[in-house]
């Protein structure tokens, strides 16, 4: 447990040791290719008429969220991060959603007289 005598203590992120990183390289390239495919998909889907412009917005946002999740989880190593980081990110997500939802609520709920 006492790491003070180890002249070159390995980083505690076991998943990113010298050998392990090479395992992830294929993953990075695969995700990169997928992202390009999804970009094309986004453009294609914008031509498809899903009924209303609201529906198109929802479809586009779903595809964007999938792409963003891939970047965050794989490229930014969020799938194997530490709990401290997760805690701060969860807080942030909660507050961003709060900002959106509550301001929109105020927008949609004006005084009616």
Partner 1 sequence: MPGFRKRSIRRWNPPQHSFSNMEIPYTISARPDTGLWNAKLGIWLFLASEVMLFGGLFSGYVFLRLGSAPGYWPHGLLNVPVGSMNTAILILSSVTVVMAWASLKMRQFTRYQIYMAITIICGIIFLAVKLAYEWPQKFVHFGAYIKPAVAEKYEDYLGNKHLIEKGLEPRYEITGHLHEIEINRADADPAELDTLIKARGLEVVKTEDEGKVLTLKVHSPSDAVALRDVLGVISNPDEPNPAKRTRKAHGVKIEAFELALDEINANPTSPENERPRFIPRSLSEKTATIHMEDIDGDGQAWSSFEPRHSSYFAVYFTITGLHGLHVLAGVLVFCYYMLPVSTRLYRQNPEHLANRVEVAGLFWHFVDLVWIFVFPIFYLL
Partner 2 sequence: MATPTTSTHAHGEHGHDHGDHHHELGFWQKYVFSTDHKVIGIQYGVTGLIFLFFGFCLMMLMRFQLAYPGEELHFLGLGRLLAYFFPTEMPKGIMTPDFYNSLGAMHGTIMVFLGIVPVAFAAFGNYVVPLQIGAPDMTFPKINMASYQAFFVGGVTMLISFFVPGGAAKSGWTSYSPLANVADHPGADVIDPATNLVVSHVHMIFNGQTLWILGMVFLITSSLLGSVNFITTIIQLRAPGMTWMRLPFFVWAQLVTSVLLLLAFPPLEAASVMQLMDRVAGTSFFLPTGLYVGGHLWGNSGGGSPLLWQHLFWFLAHPEVYVLILPGIGIIAEVVANNTRKPLWGYKAMVMAILVLGFLSFIVWAHHMYLTGMGAKVSAFFQTTTIIISIPSVILLTALMISLWGGSIRFTVPMLFATAFMPEFGIGGLTGIPLAFNAVDLYLHDTYYIIAHFHYIVAPGTIFAIFAGVYYWYPKATGRMMNDTLGRIHFFFSIIFINGIFMPMFIQGMMGMHRRWYDGGLSYPVTSGRVVLGYSGTEWNHVISWSAWLLGVAQLPFIFNFFWSIRHGKKASINPWDSTTLEWTAPSPPPHGNFDHPPTVYRGPYEYSVPGASSDFTPQAQSDAGIPEKEHPPLEPATA
Q: Where are the alpha helices (DSSP H) in 15-82?
A: 18-47, 53-70
| 18 interacts with partner 2 by CB under 8 A | no
88 counts as binding partner 1 under rule CB under 8 A? yes
Binding of partner 2 by 47 (CB under 8 A):
no
Q: What's the number of CA atoms in the CB half-sphere (13 Å) around residue 9? A: 9
- Residue 103 touches partner 2, criterion: CB under 8 A: yes
Which contacts of 64-70 are long-range, i.e. CB under 8 A and separated by 24 or more positions?
A: 66/38, 67/35, 67/38, 67/39, 67/42, 70/31, 70/34, 70/35
Q: SS3 of 111, please?
A: coil
Interface with partner 2 (CB under 8 A), residue from 12, 26, 52, 105: 105
Instruction: Identify the sign of the CA torsion 56, 57, 61, 62.
Output: negative
Partner in contact with 23, chosen from partner 2, partner 1, none, beta carbon below 5 to 8 Å by kind? none
Q: List the interface residues with partner 1, window 15-74 (CB under 8 A).
A: 16-18, 21-22, 24-25, 28-29, 31-32, 35-36, 39-40, 42-43, 46-47, 49-50, 52-53, 55-57, 60-61, 63-64, 67-68, 71-72
Given the rule CB under 8 A, which residues bind partner 2?
Answer: 1-5, 7-9, 84, 88, 91-92, 95, 98-99, 102-103, 105-107, 109-112
């Amino acid at each position: 447990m006492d790491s003070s005598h180890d002249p070159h203590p390995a980083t505690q992120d076991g998943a990113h040791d010298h050998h392990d990183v090479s395992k992830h390289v294929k993953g990075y390239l695969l995700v990169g290719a997928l992202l390009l495919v999804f970009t094309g998909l986004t453009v294609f889907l914008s031509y498809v008429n899903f009924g209303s412009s609201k529906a198109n917005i929802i479809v586009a946002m779903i595809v964007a969220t999938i792409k963003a999740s891939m970047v965050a989880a794989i490229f930014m190593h969020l799938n194997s991060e530490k709990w401290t980081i997760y805690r701060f990110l969860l807080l942030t997500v909660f507050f961003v959603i709060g900002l959106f939802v509550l301001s929109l609520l105020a927008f949609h709920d004006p005084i009616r007289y």
